[in-house]
Amino acid sequence: MSRQEEVTNPKLAGKECCQKNPCCTIGIASLLIAIGLSLAGYFVSQTIYNSKVAVNTSRVRGLAEKLVKADEAEWNIKIKKSDSTGRPVTDMYKEAEAQQQEVIRVLREGGFSDEEIEPSVLELTTNEYRDKAQKLVERENIVYGYVTVRTGQVEKVMPVRKEVSQLIAKGISIVNGDPNYRFTKLNDIKPEMLEVATKNARIAANEFAKNAGVKVGTIRNASQGNFSITDSNSDYDYGRSPDKKVRVVTSIEFYLIED
């Protein structure tokens, strides 16, 4: 082979160069490895992407409602004695105290214990009425107090409240307040209601899956809404009814699998 052929033949020149220079061989090998890793990374990434696209889910809501009875009641009865004739305040106190004791007597006879009955201290307030010239026209003294019932005997509240109202016919001035009813045993029924809500959510998911020609799988994720307690005949809890409605809504995402 002539000297001229060695110089003008690129393939032979490159081969000879790599044979003479080991760094050249290492560089080419590194380049090939990098290309191979890049291709491998592409296929791995593509596989992961395709697997995510293939995940089919259905997000549905499940409702659970339960009617319950209030387990606590609070009831205020106001005793009021007023006078604008100038009677001694001490006499008014004695009369108001006697009326307060009469209310307590009716409550005891109705089945409430002393631990459930809480009388307040009697208080005095004075109202003064003046004319345009600021001359005193009338002074009214009012002695008032309360009897509060806090009880778990919710069923006794309404019949005894009627008996208390009969005291008005005896000349006792009272304000027979509306009882406030509460349900406090929510934790006792939470597991049962969440189970019902989950079942109802799966029923809804099954209807969707049936129309789509797939089946409902396991739960992917779930979130629980807040429990609400309202009067049974209202969307709010005014506390006026002993009948309560407890409600919860859950949001659940199910996997969908091919039928």
* Sequential DSSP letters for 176-189: EPPPEEE---HHHH
Q: How much is the pLDDT for 204? A: 92
Spell out the residues 6+ positions from residue 136 whose beta carbon is closer than 8 angstroms to its own: 128, 129, 130
- Tens digit of pLDDT for each residue in 87-118? 999 999 999 999 999 999 999 999 999 999 99
Q: Point out which residues pair with 9 in neighbouring strands.
A: none
- Cα 57 to Cα 212: distance, rounded to the nearest angstrom: 12
Name the more confident of 36 and 2: 36
pLDDT at 28: 53
CB 151 within 8 A of CB 112: yes
Structure tokens at 50: 């395709």
Of 162 and 13, the one with more pLDDT:
162
13 has a pLDDT exceeding 80: no
CATH topology for 56-69+185-258 is Translation Initiation Factor IF3 (3.30.110)
The whole-angstrom separation of Cα 156 and Cα 117 is 13
Gap between the terminal Cα atoms of the chain:
74
Is 72-182 CATH 3.60.15.10? no
Instruction: State the pTM of this model.
Output: 0.71
**pLDDT for 42:** 34
Amino acid identity of residue 87, one-letter, is R
Three-class DSSP category at 175: strand
**Three-state secondary structure call for residue 69:** strand
pLDDT tens-digit readout, 176-226: 999 999 999 999 999 999 999 999 999 999 998 888 889 999 999 999 889
Of the candidates 228, 235, 241, 242, the residue with the CA atom closest to the CA atom of residue 71 = 242
Q: Domain coordinates of the chain in residue numbers?
A: 3-52, 56-69+185-258, 72-182
Report residue 258's pLDDT band, with 50, 70 and 90 as the boundaries. Answer: confident
Query: pLDDT value at position 212?
Result: 84
Q: How far apart are CA 204 and CA 202, in angstroms?
A: 5
Residue 177 corresponds to which tokens in the numbers above? 């307040």
Region 222-244: what's the mean pLDDT? Answer: 93
